[in-house]
Amino acid sequence: MSDAMPKGHPSAAGFGAGPREFIALMAMTMALQAMCIDSMLPALGLIARDLDVTDPNRRQLVVGLFLFFAGVGSLVPGALADRYGRRPVLFVCFAGFVVLSVACALVRDFTMLLVLRALQALCTAGLSVLPGAIIRDRYHGDAMARMMSTISVVFMIVPMLAPSFGQAVLLFASWRWIFGAMALMGAVVATWVYWRLPETLHEEYRQPIEARAIAANMWEAATNRASFGYVMGGALLIGALFGYINSAQQLIAEHLGAGDRFPLLFAVMAGGIAVANLANSRIVERFGARRVSHAALLAFIAVGALQVWFAHQPNETLWQFIPLMTLNCAMIGFTGANFGSIALQPFARIAGAAASLQAFLRMVCGSALGALVGQAYDGSARPLSWALFLCGLAALALVLYSEKGRLFRRLTPPGQPRPVPDPAH
């Protein structure tokens, strides 16, 4: 259900994108960062050969470093957006995305490529952070979870297709043209946002750029018990997913023998997230974000246990691994948007700062864990399977902490509208 907006707010005047276009705008903005990750996967071997990288696991740093620094960069844009508005910060991020994509396309040294990837991640972190704050400006409760799930369905189309896109580019050109194509996409999406997305920050919620105020807002967002377990639980699940992404090309294409079918199979497994988000957008307002995500988390743990069992069998096959990984991805689809919306609920006044801090914690912890899982790759699915199972158990413990030991509660009755924002609070 859409918020009631104060008079004078640009969205209240009917300016800008309607609901469907808004979904597409937010999804494509978020998808640019995903494009930076997944479109690289088919090219990692070529990049390693072209830039004289001999350690086979070192190629993972093209993805792993980007994920880590995207998390570090997430700490900054939310506070700036709470002061100056969402649009100005977004356009700085778009500019960084385009310029650094071109720079990556021209690089001649692997170390310099890693440096540029880290800078690109820092500069573009707002592309994944600010859509959450923009959605929080306009939606609340299970309606917000439904909107985030709907956006995630559209958003997931890009990372599903990104490896196939990268593979298609490689059929006709060098891996450098993958970066060139990303620069073009960034310019197109930035132009679209410029013309169709109004400013969504409520004037009465603007925050000062003062170290004490920012620190207080961050501390408030970090120490809220109802939010903390969902943020850190989500970070662990993302960490397991990042471990899969980091080692996917080696595990699926090489060890399990997918070869050139890897982009298609990667899309099938990522499709589990898209299908889950589509289903979630249809059911979350009926059953509640907590009930849906708690059930999905328990299912994730059960599938993780099956992953461990199969990984320890002799000669695990590609067709044993793919259905289980697809189910793991689907359960992450059910938990991701719901965990994110639950974690942001207490923070209408400081949505930007809270979104930044939460993205920082999820991405930094998740990318660090994902890098450890990826570097532990030993020519089998065992490190990944144990990561999926144990991260699920730890996430359950964290959710129980936030929920004070009780699962499946519903705190917001179906259809309950969000009150009009009160400037005094």
In terms of average pLDDT, the best of 232-246, 369-383, 385-399 is 385-399
Which is higher by pLDDT, 380 or 76?
380
Residue 297 has a pLDDT of 96
Tokens 């190629």 belong to which residue?
59
Residue 412 has a pLDDT of 52
Residue 416 has a pLDDT of 45
For the segment 97-112, the average pLDDT, to the nearest whole number, is: 93
User: Of the ranges 12-16, 73-77, 193-197, which one carries the lowest mean pLDDT score?
Assistant: 12-16
pLDDT reading at 14 higher than 50: no
Domain boundaries, the chain: 13-402
Residue 419 has a pLDDT of 41
Among 345, 352, 336, residue whose Cα is nearest residue 134: 352
Which is higher by pLDDT, 211 or 297?
297
pLDDT reading at 20 higher than 90: no
Residue 391 has a pLDDT of 95
CATH number for the domain running over 13-402: 1.20.1250.20
User: Of the ranges 140-144, 202-206, 242-246, 324-328, which one carries the lowest mean pLDDT score?
Assistant: 140-144
Mean pLDDT for the chain overall: 83
Which is higher by pLDDT, 15 or 48?
48
Share of the chain above pLDDT 70, in %: 88
pLDDT reading at 413 higher than 60: no
Residue 117 has a pLDDT of 93
pLDDT reading at 421 higher than 60: no
Residue 410 has a pLDDT of 67
Which is higher by pLDDT, 284 or 251?
251
